[in-house]
Homo-oligomer: A and B are copies of this chain.
Amino acid sequence: MRRIKLKVAYDGTNYAGWQIQKNALTIEEILNKTISKLTEEDIAIIGASRTDSGVHALGNICVFDTNSKIAAEKFSFALNTKLPEDIVIVSSEEVDVTWHPRYQHNIIKSYEYRIFNGKFPNPLRNRYTTFVSFNLDVEKMKEAAKYIIGEHDFKSFCNIRTNAKTTVRTVTELSIEKEENEIVLRISGNGFLYNMVRIIAGTLIRVGRGFYEPEQVKEIIESRRRNAAGVTVPPNGLTLLKIEYPN
């Protein structure tokens, strides 16, 4: 028995997220079926990150166990010929059979949230950006972002339906860049609460519009009240960039 680790990229538009569910197509279901067909085994992958419906990924991680004789690095090629176009295995490698993609020390996850800021949306960017027509002050957003970096109780930035034991998390990096008409938030941390990145993005958009002053973000964090922060912005602007496992 070998354990194979896959790095997976997908366009989440047509899926009800990662995790298997009844009556809706998910990434996990497609991967289970496709790998099972290839290996002729009954495969149940273990994923690192259960991305929400409509969220994209360039580097989600999962593992599965197999007795197949296919070389570890060949799984990516073999699976890509069978997968739909919107799911791609970026790489495949063998890992220790005890290696679990969620239970590791010092995991760092990185996400990107893209805002299209213009008079009208660009139809070629609709799938991957959220559209904001109001002029956003990027400098104020950058200033506000500084309050989010570090270890905080992010209860104000968590969907109230969370199951998390603690709402304390560490944001190690948060950058905001303007790339032509797009404002790109890149955020890294040791874990993110339910909807946390999308609520941070919604809050920073409010700062950009002038609803909040940058320093109010400190108060929003300290209040530990979900309704102090901004709305949960749409999933299509969000992409899971990578998951790093320090050795």
Contact = CB atoms under 8 A, between A and B. Distances in A.
Interface of A: 9-11, 56, 58, 76, 80, 85-90, 120-124, 126-128, 239
B128 A239 contact: no
A9 B58 contact: no
A87 B121 CA distance: 10
Copies assembled? 2
A25 to B, nearest CB: 15
A239 B122 CA distance: 13
22 contacts: A9-B123, A9-B124, A10-B123, A11-B123, A11-B124, A11-B126, A56-B123, A58-B122, A58-B124, A76-B120, A80-B120, A85-B121, A85-B126, A86-B123, A86-B126, A87-B123, A88-B121, A88-B123, A89-B120, A90-B120, A124-B127, A127-B127
A124 B88 CA distance: 10
A30 to B, nearest CB: 12
A124 B123 CA distance: 14
**Chain B CB within 10 A, most for which of A80, A87, A123:** A123
A9 B121 CA distance: 9
Given A10-B123, A85-B121, A87-B123, 12 more contacts: A9-B122, A9-B124, A11-B123, A11-B126, A56-B123, A80-B120, A85-B123, A85-B126, A88-B121, A88-B122, A89-B120, A127-B127
Contacts of A87: 123
Contacts of A11: 123-124, 126
A181 B85 CA distance: 18
A122 B8 CA distance: 10
Contacts of A128: 124
B90 A124 contact: no
A87 B123 CA distance: 6
Nearest to A84: B123
Contact of A56 (B80, B86, B124): B124
A128 to B, nearest CB: 6
A198 to B, nearest CB: 18
Contacts of A80: 120
B9 A88 contact: no
Contacts of A121: 85, 88
